Structure 1
Amino acid sequence: MRIKRWTTAFILAAGFATAASAQKIDWDIFAEPFVSAAHAQDVNWQKVDDALGRKPAIAGEVHRYGFPRSDLSVTLDGVTIKPALALGGWVAFKPAHGGVMVMGDLVLLDSEINPVMAKMIANGIEITAVHNHLLRANPATFYMHIAGLGDAPRLATAIREALRESKTPGVAPTPATAPPAVDLDTAQLDQIIGVKGQANGGVYQFNVPRRDPVTEGGMTLSPPGPMGVAIGINFQPTGGGKAAVTGDFVLTSDEVNPVILALRTHGIDVTALHSHMLEEQPRLFFMHFWANDDAIKLAKGLRAALDKTASTKS
């Protein structure tokens, strides 16, 4: 994300700096917690909700909006993928630099990528990555990571207009009266992974934060889960104690190959390795994976991979 460049334009437009002084702005004075404490209450969240057509999950100052591709029927190795397993697009807004920073990960078909991208770019949203997360899925799905800085309702409107170029549902799907049961030994999964998981739409999900903070353009990306920089691990039951697992490991360069070896040793496929952002510190790589096997066996393999990372463990 080009937050420093965007911040210059945003501050100039707001009258915080003159043309003469803008060249020597001390960016530290715009870093949190000063910025978020000063401006969090100024964000018109109702207008953001209205523009996006849904309510957020709120964690601290972060408002995260889900865009699950509930319209798609995607199968992989005979498993029909639930949206919460691997089709859960999202955008997250966090107060920053007199407005908000927004980051997101949107699920698209190949035919939707360039129309959505064109609208994003035309409305001032940057594209930070486009890639696969899965292999062999039918239909194939792709993931577009986005970033922006500025006025929250304007950014929300830009995202909504861009998503109209796809078949992403325009309003949040109505939740089922009784969510599907997670037919797994979740207590044992919690113990093995080392953090408490959470059921969501028939999928058991883990977010495992890294021990050290991650920043983008001087802003700390916290809480890490809602901002997309926690290790994500998802289990979808497939019967008889088995589960399909997927997600992504958030890694520094020295962790990449030890984690690959740990996953492959335990029968878990590595399906993608790439970046999601442009200027994060430390530099991070995101490794996606897939397997469908005994859930406890897979959890132990994932724990072996987690042990190769600087991640937290309760």
Structure 2
Amino acid sequence: MAALVAGGLVAGCGTTTMGQAADLAAVHGGHQDQDQQGQPIDMVKTTEADWRAVALALGRPGKLSADGTVYRVGFSRTDLKVTSHGVRIKPGFALGSYAAFARYADGSTMVMGDLVVTEPELPKVTDALQRRGIAQTAVHKHLLAQEPDVWWSHLHAVGRDPVAIARAVRAVLDQTATPAPAAPSSPPPINLDTSALEAAMGARGSNDGGIYKFSFARKETIASHGRVISAAMGVNTALNFQPTGGGKAAINGDLVMTAGEVQKVIQALRAGGIDIVELHQHALDDEPRLFYMHFWANADAVRLARALRAAVDASAVKPV
């Protein structure tokens, strides 16, 4: 297995030499790469064919973003039966792992991702990330009063060989009971007034496996490790509505904010009767520094959408 570093790859097989330790430290130490003008390095456009070997290494296909810059592979935890405040959580609502790959003008590939892991799996996942030189950039929860306890572990790596990166991610994923992907199927209908939700949010939503979702991107350019990162890499506000009957929905997701926006977002959420779950970061060296807010409520869906709109409007984001 190859261990990944910010500028390339070094050989690794579960033990770490002194040279490898220095390279691993570079992953965790926030090493920055930039072009000669000091600007973050841009993503380059790719095709589905460019990522076939990555999909093979991961054991499942992904989806290329509309602009061709990000190849995102999902790992749904359909094996887990999780409840929060008595609501059975659907995989598409809050139990989806992913790894997002992007190629850059300097020939490097970056991966950012988030793995849903059970509490017994978390130490094994942490050790596997460290053995393979993949940075663990956040560990947190998305849900309150959950049974069983589930954690989310963010990952980050940069290297010259995207297939080696994918193999390393697959080795980490294999420390969990994440099942093989299911055959594609049509999503079930949404038992909510989606037109009213869209009107309240001021944005178009989408049906993802029976969950109605909205996504918003930051208005400014975001960089990590001297490279541009986009909403498709997970740098976005993601709002999820899971129908719970009678026009009600459970809501969960992420709100992405700068430091100056955090208190305004909290106030907007609480004014709308929405609970705060977590406040944390996803990356270690993003610029500008970004924070993420997880939230929860289960009430009239349109009323909650209006409350979420106020929180969205308190941050500098735009609909994707």
* TM-score after normalising by structure 2: 0.85
Matched residues in 2 for 1:288 and 1:198: separation? Answer: 20
Is 2:97–2:114's contact at 8 Å kept on the other side of the alignment? Answer: yes
**Which structure is higher in helix share?**
1
Residues 43, 152 of structure 1: 8 Å contact kept: no
Alpha-carbon spacing, 1:32–1:296, altered in 2? closer, same or farther (3 Å): same
Q: CA deviation at 1:254?
A: 0.9
> Contact 1:43/1:95 (CA < 8 Å) preserved in 2?
no
CA deviations on 1:252-274 (whole Å, 9 max, x unpaired) are 11111111111011110010000
CA distance in 1, matches of 2:204, 2:48: 34
Which of 97, 122, 134 is residue 89 of structure 1 equivalent to?
97
Task: Please say if residues 85 and 145 of structure 2, whose CA atoms lie closer than 8 Å, have aligned partners that are also in contact.
Answer: yes
Question: 1:175: which partner in 2?
Answer: 184
Which residue is 1:257 aligned to? 263
For 1:167 and 1:27, how far apart are their aligned partners in 2? 38
RMSD of equivalent CA atoms: 2.2
Q: Are residue 103 (structure 1) and residue 112 (structure 2) matched? A: yes
What is the CA distance between 1:173 and its match in structure 2? 1.9
Letter in 2 for 1:239: G
Is the alpha carbon distance of 1:43 and 1:6 closer, same or farther for their aligned partners in structure 2, counting shifts above 3 Å?
Answer: farther
State how far apart, in whole Å, the 1-side matches of 2:6 and 2:319 are. 36
1:61 equivalent in alignment to 2:77: no
**Alpha-carbon distance between aligned partners in 1 of 2:56 and 2:96, rounded to the nearest angstrom:** 20
Structure 2 vs 1, CA of residues 71 and 142 (structure 1 numbering), >3 Å: closer, same or farther? same
Find the partner of 1:205 among 195, 208, 213. Answer: 213
2:135 maps to 1:126: yes
Q: Which runs of 4+ in 1 moved over 3 A?
A: 29-33, 40-44
Q: Which runs of 5+ in 1 are unaligned?
A: 11-24
CA distance in 2, matches of 1:283, 1:55: 32
Match status 1:6 vs 2:14 = no
Q: Look up the SS of the partner of 1:209 in the other structure.
A: strand
Counterpart AA for 2:7: T
Aligned mate of 1:187, from 165, 184, 195: 195
For 2:117 and 2:305, how far apart are their aligned partners in 1?
Answer: 29
Q: Deviations over 1:142-200 (max 9, x none)?
A: 0000001111111111111111111111x212234x42211111111112112211100
Shift of 1:36: 2.8
Asked if the contact 1:70/1:173 (under 8 Å) is kept, the reply is no
| Contact residue 63 and residue 94 of structure 1 kept, 8 A | yes
Per-residue CA deviation, residues 287-306 of structure 1 (Å, 9 max, x unaligned), is 00000000000001001111
SS at match of 2:295: strand
Between the aligned partners of 2:95 and 2:48, the Cα distance in structure 1 is 32
Q: Identity percentage over the alignment?
A: 43
Match of 2:21 in 1: none
Alpha-carbon separation, structure 2, partners of 1:137 and 1:158: 30
User: How far apart, in 2, do the equivalents of 1:42 and 1:91 lie?
Assistant: 15
Change (3 A) 1:313 1:62: closer
CA distance in 2, matches of 1:281, 1:98: 21
SS of structure 2 residue aligned to 1:98: coil
Task: After superposition, give the CA deviation of every residue in 1:16-66 in whole Å (9 maximum; x if it has no partner).
Answer: xxxxxxxxx983149534x736xx579952211111111111112210000
**TM-score between the two structures when normalised by the length of structure 1:** 0.87
Q: Distance in 1 between matches of 2:172 and 2:318?
A: 36
Q: Shift of residue 219 of structure 1?
A: 1.4
Alignment check: 8 A CA contact 2:48 2:64 kept: no
SS in 2 for 1:234: strand
Letter of the 2:6 partner, please give it: W
For structure 2, the 5+ residue unaligned runs are 11-31
